[in-house]
Structure 1
Amino acid sequence: MLVLLAVVIVLLGSVAWVGVRAVLARGELEGAIPLASTMQRQVVDGDGDGARLTGEELTQRAASAAALTSDPVWRAFEGIPALGPNLAVVRQLAAVVDDLAKNGIAPLAEVAGGISVNDFRPVDGAIDVQPLIDAQPAISSAATAIVAAQTQASALDTNGTLDEVSGAAGRLSAAVDEAAVSISAVDRAVRIIPAMLGANGPRNYAVLFQNPAELRSTGGIVGAVALIHTENGAIQLTQQAPGASFPRHAESVLDLPPDTGNLYSQRTGQYMLNVGLTPSFPLSAKLAQEMWRLEYGVQVDGVLSIDPVALGYILAATGPITLPTGDVLSSENAVSLLLTDVYARYAEPSDQDAFFAAAAASVFSAVAGGDVDPVKLITALGKAGAEHRVLVWSSSEGEQAILADTSLAGSLPISDDATQRFGLYLNDATGAKMGTYLDVNSSIGQVTCRNDRRPNYTVEVTLTNTAPADAATVLPRYVTGGGVFGVAPGNVKTIVSVYAAPDMQNLGLSQDGQPVPYLPASDDGYQVSAIAIELSPGQSTVLRYNWLGPQQFAGENELQMTPVIHRNETKKLDIGC
């Protein structure tokens, strides 16, 4: 009897032990996870010491939770049916948080006091790159820890567990995935920014100012080009030239891939204004690099691109800027002033180019001079980058590899097991600046109707010419084109190309519900459908591009597209069998 009583007491004590430790561990985990957001906010606010202390608290709480859930008694209770799987998942959750805190958060906490967003604010035209260099090991460690945490979190088996436990596992996995995006971006930034700012020697970059009033696949014609020199963090705008000032070469300055030449003609590599005809920005950049070398004898180390919409985002960080003309350029009027008003004011293209150059130089001076809110600047650049309004190419293979799978690279869309990506690219065929009046709506969807489960995909594009009915007479000839290229004044003519993954089957396209002839082609292995559309003022049309996938797919669909002026978010398209 005494033996039985002793066994009962031990069992009750063990249950109480596990129960108490479970409550304590839950408290530690619930207290730890929100601290990651607190730490991030403190870094953004420039409170490095606060971020360091928060990181230390998070690490301590995570270690405590792991210790509370990993003793022999807890592990023994994991063998109990029904209860055991819940305890196992809780232990594994605590271990994921603990590993991430030790290997990721702790290194970040150590450097939090020595780096903040203010380090991205130029002082007297220079950025101190040393804090970024010093932070590289810690951020690299954090990035590695995040990837490990993603693997661990995705491997958690929550079958048969309580909703509270499975919900906690789901929230942790989502939080780790979100953190991975941020840490990856920061890791890339601290690895590439110092080098691009001349930490290892002087650099020269050509900056293309793309004008979406006359569309090209990567954004627009190259209205102006600037040369930026960087050295030891110092940034100087050393030269500017109108895009139209570059000569038209008799042949492409570089050998074009056959697909590019077939789709977009040799003009892509003959004239600076046309380097964006191809949707592959790395190719556009190499062509621009060679054209600059041929014209000025300088081999630039990289090529950047930006458009007026992105300048508008940046002006939200600098505040309004007064131009040499007396105009006040702001985030509210940047697009209208640079893409509409300038054409009404100046009839001569050279005067328009001078205005664009002055605006770009003024914005650059404000940013380089440190007259900018660093948090707003980073937010602005992030938004512009996500919309492909800022593109970056580096001639350094190592740096380009860091950029390769980011939106900044401007590469053709890359699909994976989770996401099927398509490309929508627009090239002006009006020969003028009517892109200001082109409204673009897009949607994408899929449906599975076949017995072999191969899905059908549809990319729908709605184009509308929003120009006034009397556009032919009220708009400047330079804007309408005056019919020089065979397009009636006031009309908008656009070549619309959609790219699908190489392994897809092209099923053609329709316009306003009717099948139409189109150009089936390929580009670097991608399947392409292209069609030229001309719209009169007020006219609208709906294009549907159809494809057949190679195998069953249950992931998401995305559309990468030319950054037009009036951008609408891509919607989900419901299609039937």
Structure 2
Amino acid sequence: MFAVAWIGIRGFLAVNELQAAVPLAKTAQKQIVVGDAEAAQRAADELAGHAASAASLTGDPIWRGAEVLPVIGPNLEVVRVVSASVDRIARDAVVPLASSAGTIDAGAFAPSEGSLDLQAMIDLQEPVHEARVAFDTASVALGDVADASVIGPLADARNELTAMVDETGGVVVGFDNAVRLLPPMLGADGPRDTLLLFQNNAELRSLGGVPGSMALVHADGGAVAMTQQAATGDFPVYPKRVVDMPVETRALWGENTARYVQDVTFTPQFPLAATIAREMWKRQFGTEVQSVVAVDPVMLSYLLRATGPITISTGDQLTSENAVQYLLSDVYARYPVSQQDAIFAEVASTVFASLASGSADPQALVEAVAQAGAERRILVWNADVEEQAVLAGTTIAGGLPESTDAEQAFGVYLNDMTGSKMDPYLDVQVGAGVVTCRNDGLPNYDIVVKLTNTAPADAATSLSSYVTGGGEYGTPPGSITTSVHVYSAQGTYNLGVLLDDEPVGYHPTSDSGYTLSKVVSRLAPGESAEYRFGFLGGEAGEKRTLLETTPLVYTPETLGVALSCESAIR
């Protein structure tokens, strides 16, 4: 009886402490981000007091012993885990970051007169990494009790804290990666060269688009300058591949991936694409870069939110609202092919100069890069193995999709086969469904990809032959030919592909151990095609589906897929 009363009283007090602590965590987070050191420290200290009290109240042997009891036990365990998680975050994340709040502001990541203060980033490495570890530990602990059957108010508190840990933890991971990688990439340890690839989404490749133009960025001690620019026409067609590729990858994507600079992003594996581009640049210009970074016009439009509008020598003004339309459509309509490369190069150098000058809004700049990273519009590869390991599993590493115990990840990759700049007219919708119909418990996954050619009916004559491709590669002007590759997880099985609910020919194969299916679609203006790719899971149990897609001009619409045992591909 005494033990029950003891637990009841301590549980009541612990819940009160948690109710006071969680709002303080959110308050401290906001104050840290804006750099209000004094307010952040006050909130962090108050949070730490409540969190430590909650952890102390739920950590004694009597409490732990009672966790084995039916009904009440799971509730006690969740209270203890939530209390310990809040305490860990407060002690090892919020308090150390609050003490550094005066130096944590977006300005640390924005250039000033062509240079960045690398020491400010280096000083943040230890507290930020400790915060990351704290959030990771809390995330694992909360995951262990995510499905525990507990009373409603406690379930709400657990779910609220889990959501906060997931959201804030993701920000901390990005912050940790930035302060660890940016100093060496910006020349903290000596001069550093980075190759920038500007992908053109008007002609799709798996990673985003054809690398229409490139630039060399030289950094030394935080001072950054764009020292050289080049276009695809500056590179030869190499007689044989410039780097070796795995047999599966070579068979799937072809030798041209490592012979034509325009095709290096055919493969959805950015580390391979970057290695090929790096070797081509070295052979053509003699400089061996240490890093390769790929961006696209949509990311550029995000950056223009930070820099404000820019004006180029043609008199055209680019803003965050019109940049994508200008670069992926208007340039082709207004200017001859001979002038287009120069325009792209000038836009790139002008935006770079604006960023380097220090005139960009720091907070908007950080937000722009974060959004582009989440959408895979910026990809980074480093030759240094240890540096690249920092990016493992992140969106900007550009690797193949990684499944987890809870998620089944798929990749939907699109490549232009028209030889054109028609892909701004390609509307893409994707969706996924899962159902279990077999006695062995293996689930069926269906991935739906719907393509529509939205070009005008008279595209063959109203658009230039440079945009339509002019039929040079076998596609009638105005039509769009696209290869669609859907990568499933390792250990899964191909079940076929349906086109508008009817079986269609497809190419089942694998790449780097991943099961995949390929189809080729050709659509005239106004035509649509809906493909359904079927895969059988490699182990019993359904998982949440996660779709990674080629970055397009826009974010593709998500389709609802209602899957049943009658409709699933089997």
TM-score (structure 1 length as normaliser): 0.92
Q: Which amino acid aligns with 2:496?
A: G
User: Cα 1:559–1:79, aligned 2, differ >3 Å: closer, same or farther?
Assistant: closer
- Residue 545 of structure 2, aligned match among 544, 557, 562: 557
SS in 2 for 1:59: helix
- 1:5 maps to which residue? none
> How big is the shift at 1:159?
5.7
- Residue 199 of structure 1, aligned match among 184, 188, 192: 188
User: Cα 1:199–1:49, aligned 2, differ >3 Å: closer, same or farther?
Assistant: farther
- Residue 510 of structure 2, aligned match among 513, 517, 522: 522
> How big is the shift at 1:95?
3.0
Identity among equivalent pairs (%): 47
Flag the structure with larger Rg: 1
- 2:240 maps to which residue? 251
> How big is the shift at 1:20?
6.5
SS in 2 for 1:276: coil
Counterpart CA distance in 2 for 1:200 and 1:239 is 22
Q: Which amino acid aligns with 1:409?
A: A
- 1:414 maps to which residue? 402
> How big is the shift at 1:454?
1.1
Which deviations, in whole Å up to 9, do the C-alpha atoms of 1:228-272 show, x marking residues without a partner?
111111211111111221111111111222222212211111111
Equivalent pair of 1:123/1:369 in contact (CA under 8 Å): yes
Equivalent pair of 2:409/2:548 in contact (CA under 8 Å): yes
Equivalent pair of 1:347/1:478 in contact (CA under 8 Å): no
Counterpart CA distance in 2 for 1:91 and 1:197 is 44
SS in 1 for 2:265: helix
- 1:42 maps to which residue? 31
The 10-residue stretch of structure 1 (391-400 or 96-105) with the greater mean CA deviation from structure 2:
96-105
Which deviations, in whole Å up to 9, do the C-alpha atoms of 1:542-566 show, x marking residues without a partner?
1111111122222210111111213
SS in 2 for 1:112: coil
TM-score (structure 2 length as normaliser): 0.93
Is the counterpart of residue 468 in structure 1 residue 456 in structure 2? Answer: yes
- 1:29 maps to which residue? 18
> How big is the shift at 1:300?
0.3
User: Cα 1:515–1:70, aligned 2, differ >3 Å: closer, same or farther?
Assistant: closer
User: Cα 1:80–1:21, aligned 2, differ >3 Å: closer, same or farther?
Assistant: same
Is the counterpart of residue 153 in structure 1 residue 142 in structure 2? Answer: yes
Equivalent pair of 2:37/2:99 in contact (CA under 8 Å): no
Q: Which amino acid aligns with 1:263?
A: L
- Residue 263 of structure 2, aligned match among 250, 257, 274: 274
Equivalent pair of 1:252/1:269 in contact (CA under 8 Å): yes
- Residue 338 of structure 1, aligned match among 311, 327, 334: 327
Map of 1:228-239 to 2, 5 A cutoff? 228-239=217-228
Q: Which amino acid aligns with 1:90?
A: V
Is the counterpart of residue 386 in structure 1 residue 354 in structure 2? Answer: no
> How big is the shift at 1:434?
0.8
- 1:93 maps to which residue? 82
Equivalent pair of 2:278/2:289 in contact (CA under 8 Å): yes
Number of equivalenced pairs: 565
Counterpart CA distance in 2 for 1:177 and 1:441 is 27
> How big is the shift at 1:92?
4.4
User: Cα 1:94–1:250, aligned 2, differ >3 Å: closer, same or farther?
Assistant: same
- 2:556 maps to which residue? 568
User: Cα 1:324–1:68, aligned 2, differ >3 Å: closer, same or farther?
Assistant: same
> How big is the shift at 1:70?
5.3
The 10-residue stretch of structure 1 (334-343 or 90-99) with the greater mean CA deviation from structure 2:
90-99
> How big is the shift at 1:307?
0.7
Equivalent pair of 1:507/1:548 in contact (CA under 8 Å): yes
- 1:310 maps to which residue? 299
Q: Which amino acid aligns with 1:236?
A: A
- 1:114 maps to which residue? 103
Q: Which amino acid aligns with 1:105?
A: V
Is the counterpart of residue 493 in structure 1 residue 481 in structure 2? Answer: yes
User: Cα 1:244–1:155, aligned 2, differ >3 Å: closer, same or farther?
Assistant: same
User: Cα 1:98–1:252, aligned 2, differ >3 Å: closer, same or farther?
Assistant: same
User: Cα 1:81–1:454, aligned 2, differ >3 Å: closer, same or farther?
Assistant: closer
Map of 1:11-410 to 2, 5 A cutoff? 23-69=12-58, 86=75, 89-156=78-145, 161-348=150-337, 350-410=338-398
User: Cα 1:87–1:371, aligned 2, differ >3 Å: closer, same or farther?
Assistant: same
Equivalent pair of 1:158/1:165 in contact (CA under 8 Å): no
Is the counterpart of residue 436 in structure 1 residue 420 in structure 2? Answer: no
Is the counterpart of residue 540 in structure 1 residue 540 in structure 2? Answer: no
Counterpart CA distance in 1 for 2:68 and 2:510 is 58
Which deviations, in whole Å up to 9, do the C-alpha atoms of 1:462-489 show, x marking residues without a partner?
1111111111111111101111112111
Which deviations, in whole Å up to 9, do the C-alpha atoms of 1:439-465 show, x marking residues without a partner?
111111111111111111111111111
- Residue 499 of structure 2, aligned match among 506, 511, 515: 511
- Structure 2 unaligned segments of length 5 or more: list them: 566-570
> Which aligned segments of 4 or more residues in structure 1 are displaced greater than 6 angstroms?
17-20, 71-85
User: Cα 1:296–1:556, aligned 2, differ >3 Å: closer, same or farther?
Assistant: same
Counterpart CA distance in 2 for 1:160 and 1:501 is 31
Aligned-pair Cα RMSD in Å: 2.4
Counterpart CA distance in 2 for 1:158 and 1:429 is 47
> How big is the shift at 1:225?
0.3
Which deviations, in whole Å up to 9, do the C-alpha atoms of 1:69-119 show, x marking residues without a partner?
557897899899876765565344333322332222222222222222221
Which deviations, in whole Å up to 9, do the C-alpha atoms of 1:289-348 show, x marking residues without a partner?
000000110000011001111111111222211222221101110111001110011122
Counterpart CA distance in 2 for 1:247 and 1:74 is 72
Q: Which amino acid aligns with 1:565?
A: V
Counterpart CA distance in 2 for 1:240 and 1:270 is 20
> How big is the shift at 1:185?
1.8
Q: Which amino acid aligns with 1:380?
A: A
User: Cα 1:190–1:258, aligned 2, differ >3 Å: closer, same or farther?
Assistant: same
- Structure 1 unaligned segments of length 5 or more: list them: 1-7
Q: Which amino acid aligns with 2:475?
A: V
Q: Which amino acid aligns with 1:198?
A: G
Q: Which amino acid aligns with 1:130?
A: Q
The 10-residue stretch of structure 1 (517-526 or 454-463) with the greater mean CA deviation from structure 2:
517-526
Q: Which amino acid aligns with 1:486?
A: G
